[in-house]
Structure 1
């Protein structure tokens, strides 16, 4: 966008004098500064997550992630997208009870396993699966009203992986992001220590090139399939120009990518995203392994502590408000 505005300015007004030249130089430097953050999500760099070489992946699964936007009521359009994609697993962020009641009567017939926590505060979450689930748990990692899910998914061949689904609080005007950072980094540490290869998915309310997301990858050791491929922008579906990736899937190097694509919109301000992975542990070390040094670990611990303290403040404020 900065580039488009700069080009338009030069075409319309030209460069006249020292002041205009200085402004254009500063503008160009700002563009270069932005490029250093986003260049990893272009074909100019090598891919981080390798594709499978199997013609018929035998131990794969397809997952769909969709922030439905709680106030959106296009239930049928959403179900059309699910039917078109026919994923093995489906993560829904922001569903309230009304969303649950409309889609469950269809999805419960298709997906025998589920974890459900519809809420009216925009942090509800629903998860459906054709694959058997074990040890499922609804967790409140930082704030009482913001759940995340943990479960162990059994693949068709009997192998298992640990799945974490998240939707932390987004940045807001006059509201710091400590709780979001803490939740993401707590999940990163849990994924690193999980008993099975981990997958983390959901609306992370953070862009792929942010410092927090970079730290999340280093702490968790998980891969981002978009590196070297593209942005796969999922927000804002209403605004064609200003879009960026908020809905993510990170996964252990024991998985290989089969496919990744953004789906058509259905009324939400987010596009759904669809990913297919194949479990290939024998080829794990052919892929990169993000890792954290001691400085990264210390920074993560400090951010987690700050976020937990802020989360406890908000929990206490909410309890006090509910008591009025």
Structure 2
């Protein structure tokens, strides 16, 4: 039993400190996700060891101290998404927000076929805009009649590779683009949304690749940071939304916020975990909305699941440029800018390499 506790403690300690390595290796970056789980499990192991065995040798005290540091290391990331931290995004003080819009974000899961359940959520919430990640042609064909009737504006790119994207809006769209920033077959959308009062904002929707077995994260980092830089220089206030395949507390997300100057409505409020809807014990905040400080938060909610492995999210923001300076937002220093540029360059090179591999595979199949 003692050996088992020591072994588990060492493994969880390694899980805690490995992500400190600045590397896109999938087996390192995937450990950004379970920080709460590692903290809880390591706390149980440490408590069990201290209660079951008297600490007598100096090495035992050192071991337990290292375990405690590993727990604190995990907590320093996730504590930002608890009420112990001051909220980053302020709520509107307007009783009836005059320039508000509601956005729904949903990874529908391509193989999920509960189209009616999804439409039920949309009709219940009646958002002004809907972002769908992972739709293929079947999803498009089964929801487009209802969606097109309710939403006169749309950008559509259904795909069979789990990276399709659909966007519907009640508000007028300008300069809409379907873009492939890093990898072929992985689109992102850009559009300028015009609110009923005439105010405009730039919307970026993204869904980069996640870290998974034998697939590192260079392209994910590059896509997110490219969007961050574009959002910072956008002609209108910006909103970035979608399934980022990254957790809210990762160093990549932190660098994204510093580069873009955007704020996160979850800071000081909660995790708002959206994945995995089917496995309650393993849930992480993968679906995100970041926005310019000219907006004030009206509401942020996680909706009921509908068959996908992601919960939908819905957020309502109000355009209040007169209060922009009242909200603190992150800034990038020179070191942050240099790191972002290096990660972008590394990701673009990896993306080009993957694109060439896909071309060679297509040529061989032909």
TM-score where L is the length of structure 1:
0.96
Cα separation, 2, equivalents of 1:2 and 1:307: 29
Q: Which contiguous aligned blocks of 4+ residues in structure 1 show a shift greater than 6 angstroms?
A: none
Shift in Å, 1:22: 5.7
- Residue equivalent to 2:51: 14
Deviation at 1:27, TM superposition (A): 3.2
CA distance 1:20–1:70, shift in 2 (3 Å): farther
How much has 1:4 moved relative to structure 2? 4.4
1:168 and 2:205 correspond: no
Q: In the TM superposition, what is the alpha-carbon distance from 1:105 to its structure 2 partner?
A: 1.2
Cα distance between partner residues in 1 of 2:95 and 2:292: 21
Alignment equivalent of 2:253, drawn from 198, 213, 216: 213
Question: Are 1:128 and 2:168 matched, yes or no?
Answer: yes
- 2:45 equivalent to 1:5: no
173-182 vs 6-15, which moves further: 6-15
Alignment of 1:90-239 (within 5 A): 90-239=130-279
Partner of 1:71: 111
| Shift in Å, 1:3 | 5.1
Task: Determine if contact 1:15/1:21 at 8 Å carries over to the other structure.
Answer: no
2:52 counterpart SS class? coil
Q: Which range moves more in the overlay, 5-14 or 222-231?
A: 5-14
Deviations 1:44-68 (A, max 9, x none): 1111111000000010000000000
Distance 2:259 2:137 in 1: 35
2:342 match: 302
Which protein is bigger by CA-based radius of gyration?
Answer: 2
Whether the 8 Å CA contact 2:42–2:71 is kept in 1: the answer is no
> What are the ranges of 5 or more consecutive residues in structure 1 without an aligned counterpart?
none
2:129 touches 2:170 (CA, 8 Å); kept in 1? yes
Cα offsets for 1:19-55 (capped at 9, x unmatched):
7766554433222110000111111111111100000
Contact 1:93/1:125, CA 8 A, preserved across alignment: yes
Superposed, which structure 2 residues align to 1:205-284 within 5 Å? 205-284=245-324
Equivalent pair of 1:235/1:270 in contact (CA under 8 Å): yes
Q: CA deviation at 1:13?
A: 9.1
**Deviation for aligned residue 1:241:** 1.3
1:85 shift after superposition = 1.2
Matched, 1:61 2:101: yes
SS in 2 for 1:253: coil
Given that 1:64 and 1:89 are in contact with CA atoms closer than 8 Å, whether structure 2 keeps it comes out as: yes
Contact map agreement 1:63 1:276 (CA 8 A) in 2: yes
Contiguous gaps of at least 5 residues in structure 2: 1-36
d(CA) in 1 for partners of 2:274, 2:133: 13
Matches of 2:86 and 2:100, distance apart in 1:
24
Say if 1:6 and 1:24, in contact at 8 Å, map to a contact too.
no
Distance in 2 separating the partners of 1:17 and 1:305? 53
TM-score by length of 2: 0.86
Aligned mates of 1:79, 1:276 — CA distance in 2: 19
> For the Cα contact (< 8 Å) 2:136–2:158, is it kept in 1?
yes
Q: Secondary structure at the match of 1:323?
A: helix
1:229 Cα deviation after fit = 0.7
Q: Distance in 1 between matches of 2:348 and 2:52?
A: 51
Partner SS, residue 84 of structure 2:
coil
